[in-house]
Structures are given as C-alpha cells and as structure tokens.
C-alpha cells in the first residue's frame, strides 16, 4: 500500500509516507513554510493541511496524489464527546467541522487525490503507532501516550501484540498532564504549545518546594488514569511577563511541576506494567519529549527497555497514522530507519546554490578534518549534511557545532541563536566513548534522555554540562553516521575530547534550517565562522574579504 499520513488538527502539521510498510519520507510543514510549528494550535487553523510537506513526500517517492491507496488523518471527529468539561463548545464545533471537511481540504491541496480514500485514525492511536510500530526490534510491548489532548482524552495506555493495539486505559478530558504543563509554560511567560522545553530547562535551577501543593491537584488514581485539577499558579508564584526576568519562585515552580510530572508518569507506567508484565515500553505524545522525565522512568521504572519516538509530538502522528493504516491493510511493517526522513540535496544542487549566491567556497579533500580543525580553533560551525531530521531535535543533519571545552560557548551560542541564557546546549558523543563520560541509557541517538556527566569529565567539557550536572546527549555510531563519527574522531585526535557541542541550526523563533537557501540565510545573519554544506565549506573571513 501507498499511505500518506497527515497531521493537521492542532499544531506541528506534518506529512509522512509509507510504501509497502516502509517509511519513505516524513517532514513537518514548518520546514517549508518557515513558520515555527507550522501554525498556532487554535481551532480556526484546523483546516490547514500540511500542503507543502505532503507534496514533497509524494515527490520523494515519485508518486502523484492519484497513486495513493489511502490517506491517514490523525484525528477522528466522531470521537469528540459533546459537552465534555473543559471544551469551548463553539470552538470545538468549528474544529470538528474542519476535521470532517479534511478530505475536501486535502483534495484541493493535492489535485488528483480521491477524498474517498481518507481514513480517520484516532489521535492517540496514531501517537501509539508512531512509537510501537516504528520502534526498532520486536514489535510487541507496551505503549504510553501523554499529551495535551486528543479528541476527548489526553492519555492512552495499551499493549501491542503482533502489531495490534489493545487499549487498557484512556484518561478523559479535562484531566491532562500535557495541558497542566502548557498552562505553567504560559504562566512563566513562555509560549504554550511551543516552549515547554524551556520550563524543563528552568526547572534545573530551582527546588521543588511547591511539590506538595501540586500533589493535591495532580495525582494518579490507581486504575491507570489520573486527575489533574486546575492549578492556581498565581497563588504559588507571580506570573512572569514574556521577556521578563525569571526569579527563584519561577524556577521553583518549574522544578515542582517537573517532579510531579515524573512521579505521576512513574505511577502510570507501574500500573501498565502490572497489567502486562512486558519488558518494553514505547512512549509518544508531547510529554514524551520531556527527556528528564524519560530518564527517570528508564532509571527507576519497571521496564527493561524504554524507547521514545524522536518525533513524539503531534508531527509524529502523521507517521503513526500512516503505519496504522498500512498495518490494517496487511503491509508487513519495517522499523523507522532513523530520524533523517526529510529533504536532501546532492552535491550539484548545493554547488548551484552557492554559485548563484556568489559565495566563495571550497571543496576540501577531507571535510571531517577541515571542520575538526575549525572546531579545535574554537570556531562555530554550521553543519548541513544529508537528509533533514523529522522531529524537534537537531541530530547532526542541520546543526550548529562548537568546542565543548570552553565554558563561554554556552553564552556564545545562546547569543548566536538569540536564546535565553538559562538554556543548556547539548553534546554529541561517539558511542564507543559515551559510557566513560556519561551515565544513563545507551545508546541514545535521538537526544531524548538526560545523562549524568561523570565528575572527572565535567571540567573537561563544561559547555555541555547543565547546572544540575547532566547533559542531553546524542550518541553517534559509525555504522549509522559515518561522516559524523569521522568528525568526532578527528576532533578527538586534536583535542582529546570525543564530544562536540550540537544545537539546532536556526535562530530563536525560526524553524530549523532545511534547504540550502535557509542555510545561507542563517549563515549570513548569525556570527558563525564556517558553513559545512554538503562537501563544501564557506568561511566567514573569506566572504567578508571580498
């Protein structure tokens, strides 16, 4: 079967394509439209399909819309319960209407598409499939989905056997751990449904002194579900205005919410494991992007193996919906090959972009060595290689790289990107050296867990050590990422450090760079010393010398 998956209903619109059970392509609309998160998560935006991402997925496979066997839409309007507490009825009717009209919206966006082949997949089932059906290794195991909301629920706990999901519990709205965290995000002056990761970073600066108050509002119920009553955040700490200074109260509030989220997650996982006895747990939903909570679950939870979908947020439901429909159609599924499912450009295309822009560039005999030289000189490198990443993490395809041995590179990179200074930057590390430097789940190729930095390494790589002594690492295996592995080895030869700073190639408020034009614009507007784009390098000093 040829199945196009679509996420469009809330935020992070995306498309994914499976052909005969294999994942061919997946991309978020923001990478094409250059609008962060694609659109805001408001009901009147629910009509917008990921038109550009969907067209690219088809082009990548050499298909036309009329060649598709099915379109899987990751939301089922028939599951919306009218009158559910917490819904604004007027807006909910509009969202549901747009979802019902989705086949026509898609047929307009993709001329030649038969609207009759559109199939609705429940939102949390799509999340679950994006994890359990895409995970490497045997497909059986448990799945836990936690996010802001789906049609009428905010959570799903279930188990997969032979590729078939058996739901065991689903928490009905308005109770939602994701919405609780979103509301705190807004209270702390950040953009909800966007900046929750900033709250997680800020939590490391605080103490959970409000945890007892939150335990009165947010708790597991012992039957697989939970309650999350509305919290009066202002009674605990004064709201922070956007862009304002954060205080100790704000950090303590973030720390308290983080701890309570972790505690409830552990209880939910323990209940699920008690029902199934499974060794393996897969996670999806926006809450699964909380790498601190993931790490605590992996370290102290009941499962031997915890795997998190790298595009765990709503974008991943496009992939999950496609996999779910493909499995129902009898396709034998193959695991997700990696997060590098987006656009790619060959050497000639990149050369044309550089020539058209009139940018001086060179093609070094050894790209990894040339970049390692620059990093060893403490230069900042924009790295643009191969297929772009699907999901929110830069994983060595569209990255900013720097030397981890200089503590000042935290402030330097946050200035380059226009970010808050409390936010950490992350390391990529050669898998063969990871265990000697970091303590935590290995391998960790998707930056979805935090690891303790071993004490004798903290002074050697201070730029990637967060205030709490942890780092959100990406491990690099030579078999999977030969160019990145060579870069890390060349850098190790020059510095003795098998670690390089890796953060996303973008500036604040902008999506990650995706095509060569984006890369050149970012390089031109930010104080980056070297751009490694395909086999070519562009040096800032040579551009300015002209």
Residue 532 CA to its chain's centroid (Å): 24
Alpha-carbon gap, residue 244 to 287, rounded angstroms: 26
Q: Which residue has the tokens 């935290």?
A: 410
Crossing angle for the helix pair 248-276 and 196-203, to the nearest 10 degrees: 100
Pairing assessment for the beta strands 426-430 and 474-476 based on DSSP bridges:
parallel
Cis amide leading into 380 (omega within 30): no
C-alpha distances in angstroms, 292 versus 75, 253, 288, 468?
A: 28, 16, 10, 11
Alpha-carbon gap, residue 527 to 229, rounded angstroms: 46
The sheet that has 22-28: what strands, in order across it? 22-28, 14-19, 2-7, 70-73, 118-120
Return phi, psi of residue 179, to 5°.
-70, -35
Sign of the CA dihedral with 200 first, then 251, 403, and 436 last: negative
Paired strand residues for 366: none
The conformation of residue 355, written as its DSSP 8-state character, comes to H
Catalogue the long-range contacts made by 351-357 (C-beta closer than 8 Å, 24 or more residues apart). 351/534, 351/536, 353/516, 353/517, 353/520, 354/516, 354/520, 354/533, 354/536, 354/538, 357/520
Residues 6+ apart with CB under 8 A from 448: 288, 289, 291, 294, 308, 310, 312, 393, 472
Residues 6+ apart with CB under 8 A from 539: 360, 362, 529, 530
CB atoms under 10 Å from CB of 186, counted, come to 18
Query: At 426, which helix (H) or strand (E)?
Result: strand 426-430
C-alpha distances in angstroms, 472 versus 197, 263, 400?
A: 12, 20, 15
Helical residues (DSSP H) of 407-505, grouped into ranges: 409-417, 431-437, 455-458, 482-495
Alpha-carbon gap, residue 319 to 125, rounded angstroms: 11
Alpha-carbon gap, residue 463 to 405, rounded angstroms: 6
Q: Give the SS3 label for residue 120.
A: strand
* Size of the chain in residues: 546
Closest CA to 180 of 263, 297, 282, 80: 263
Alpha-carbon gap, residue 263 to 226, rounded angstroms: 12
Tokens of 384: 């643009």
Closest CA to 505 of 514, 496, 495: 514
Which residues are catalytic, by number?
11
């Amino acid at each position: 079967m040829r199945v196009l998956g679509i996420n469009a209903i809330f935020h992070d619109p995306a498309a994914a394509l499976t052909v005969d059970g294999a994942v061919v392509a997946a991309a978020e609309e923001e990478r094409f439209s250059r609008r962060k998160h694609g659109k805001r998560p408001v009901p009147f935006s629910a009509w917008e399909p990921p038109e550009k991402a969907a067209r690219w997925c088809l082009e990548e496979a050499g298909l036309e819309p009329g060649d598709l066997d099915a379109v899987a839409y990751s939301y089922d309007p028939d599951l919306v319960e009218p009158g559910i507490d917490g819904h604004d009825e007027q807006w909910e009717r509009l969202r549901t209407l747009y979802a019902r009209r989705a086949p026509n919206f898609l047929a307009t966006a993709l001329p030649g598409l038969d609207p009759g082949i559109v199939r609705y997949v429940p939102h949390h089932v799509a999340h679950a499939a994006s994890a359990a059906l895409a995970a490497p290794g045997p497909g059986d195991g448990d799945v836990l989905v936690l996010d802001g909301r789906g049609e009428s629920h905010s959570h799903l706990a279930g188990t997969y056997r032979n590729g078939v999901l058996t739901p065991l519990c689903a928490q009905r709205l308005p109770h939602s751990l994701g919405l609780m965290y979103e509301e705190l995000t807004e209270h702390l002056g950040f953009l909800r449904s966007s900046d929750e990761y900033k709250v997680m970073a800020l939590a490391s600066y605080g103490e959970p002194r409000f945890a007892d108050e939150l335990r009165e509002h947010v708790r597991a119920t012992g039957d697989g579900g939970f309650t999350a009553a509305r919290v009066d955040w202002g009674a605990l700490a004064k709201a922070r205005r956007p862009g304002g200074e954060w205080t100790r109260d704000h950090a303590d509030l973030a720390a308290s919410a983080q701890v309570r989220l972790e505690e409830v997650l552990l209880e939910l996982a323990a209940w699920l494991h008690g029902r199934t006895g499974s060794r393996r747990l897969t996670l999806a939903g926006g809450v699964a992007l909380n790498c601190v909570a993931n790490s605590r679950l992996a370290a102290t939870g009941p499962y031997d193996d915890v795997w998190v979908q790298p595009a765990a947020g709503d974008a991943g439901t496009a992939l999950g919906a496609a996999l779910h429909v493909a499995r129902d159609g009898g396709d034998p599924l193959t695991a997700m090959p990696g997060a590098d499912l987006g656009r790619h450009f060959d050497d000639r295309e990149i050369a044309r972009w550089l020539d058209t822009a009139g940018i001086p560039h060179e093609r070094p005999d050894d790209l990894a060595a040339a970049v390692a030289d620059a990093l060893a000189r403490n230069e900042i490198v924009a790295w643009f290689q191969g297929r772009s990443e699907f999901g929110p993490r830069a994983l060595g395809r569209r990255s900013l790289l720097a030397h981890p041995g200089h503590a000042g590179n935290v402030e330097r990179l946050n200035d380059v990107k226009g970010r808050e200074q409390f936010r950490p930057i992350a390391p990529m590390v050669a898998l063969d050296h990871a265990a000697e430097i970091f303590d935590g789940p290995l391998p960790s190729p998707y930056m979805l867990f935090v690891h303790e930095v071993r004490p004798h390494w903290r002074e050697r790589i201070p730029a990637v050590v967060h205030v709490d002594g942890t780092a959100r690492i990406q491990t690099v295996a030579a078999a999977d990422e030969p160019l990145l592995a060579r870069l890390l080895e060349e850098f190790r030869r020059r510095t003795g450090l098998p670690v390089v700073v890796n953060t996303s190639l973008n500036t604040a408020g902008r999506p990650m760079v995706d095509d060569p034009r984006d890369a050149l614009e970012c390089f031109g507007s930010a104080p980056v010393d070297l751009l490694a784009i395909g086999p070519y390098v562009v040096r800032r000093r040579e551009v300015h010398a002209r």
